[in-house]
């Protein structure tokens, strides 16, 4: 790939090795790190030459042009050369796209700046073509109370639960997006129903307790394809809408 393309893409430490048309609406660019040697994260010994294998991972990056740009990082995996090292294989790392993150640091900086401008989250998400990771959880606010309905005379148990909705992106300073009384499907549906369509369109992954009521509300509110499953985690589950 012409080096001018790498200069134009302008991600420090990376070179563009392929850039193709996908369709009328999108292009695809494949990048690799310019450095051909990388240190083992456990012992620090530098390894270069032929990698063990190469894997591709999709990265969300700054918008570039009017059409969508799909960025793919062709990532080398190496075998540590130190026989006593417990890190048998390792993947090359970069400060520009940190381990286990799906977005570039330059994009995360822009999102953090936009968050500080008090703009609508949905507008920022649409501008940078990013999606939401939403967390839904219940919190017991106090002990249950009973009160007597003055009209019917019946005793009613007062719900001591609140549902919190949080932005799971740790780069965002605005972590708690909202609180709603109760812990039912209706509580979440009502809260999400008050958000605009663009906001709901951006929700890609929702992390919840293994709670059928929450899952029902999320599936109703999220317009994205519903085919993906709910995956259990140590703290709950993640539903990809």
Where do contacts with Zn ion occur on this chain (CB under 5 A)? 40, 42-43, 80, 82, 85, 87
Q: Residue 82 CB, nearest distance to Zn ion (Å)?
A: 5
**How far apart are the C-alpha atoms of 144 and 149, rounded to whole Å?**
16
Nearer to Zn ion, 40 or 97 (CB): 40
Which residue's CB is nearer to Zn ion, number 81 or number 228? 81
Q: Which is nearer to Zn ion, 83 or 233 (CB)?
A: 83
Q: Which lies closer to Zn ion via its Cβ, residue 41 or residue 210?
A: 41
**By the 8 A CB rule, do 236 and 207 touch?**
yes
Closer Cβ to Zn ion, 41 or 193, answer by number? 41
């Amino acid at each position: 790939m012409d080096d001018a393309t790498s200069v134009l893409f302008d991600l420090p430490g990376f070179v563009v090795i392929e850039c193709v048309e996908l369709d009328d609406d999108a292009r695809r660019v494949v990048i690799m790190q310019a450095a051909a040697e990388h240190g083992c994260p456990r012992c620090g010994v530098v390894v270069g030459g032929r990698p063990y294998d190469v894997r591709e991972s999709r990265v969300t990056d700054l918008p570039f042009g009017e059409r969508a740009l799909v960025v793919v990082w062709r990532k080398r995996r190496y075998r540590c050369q130190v026989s006593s090292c417990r890190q048998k294989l390792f993947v090359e790392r970069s400060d520009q796209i940190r381990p286990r993150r799906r977005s570039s640091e330059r994009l995360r900086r822009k999102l953090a700046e936009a968050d500080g401008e008090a703009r609508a989250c949905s507008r920022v998400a649409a501008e940078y073509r990013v999606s939401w990771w939403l967390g839904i959880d219940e919190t017991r606010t106090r002990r249950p109370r009973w009160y007597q309905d003055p009209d019917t005379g019946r005793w009613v148990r007062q719900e001591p639960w609140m549902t919190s909705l949080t932005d799971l992106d740790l780069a965002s300073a605005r972590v708690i997006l909202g609180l709603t009384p109760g812990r039912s499907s209706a509580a979440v549906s009502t809260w999400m129903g008050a958000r605009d369509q663009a906001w709901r369109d951006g929700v890609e992954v929702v992390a919840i307790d293994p709670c059928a009521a929450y899952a029902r509300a999320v599936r109703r509110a999220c317009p994205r394809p519903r085919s993906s499953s709910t995956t259990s985690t140590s703290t709950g589950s993640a539903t990809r809408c």
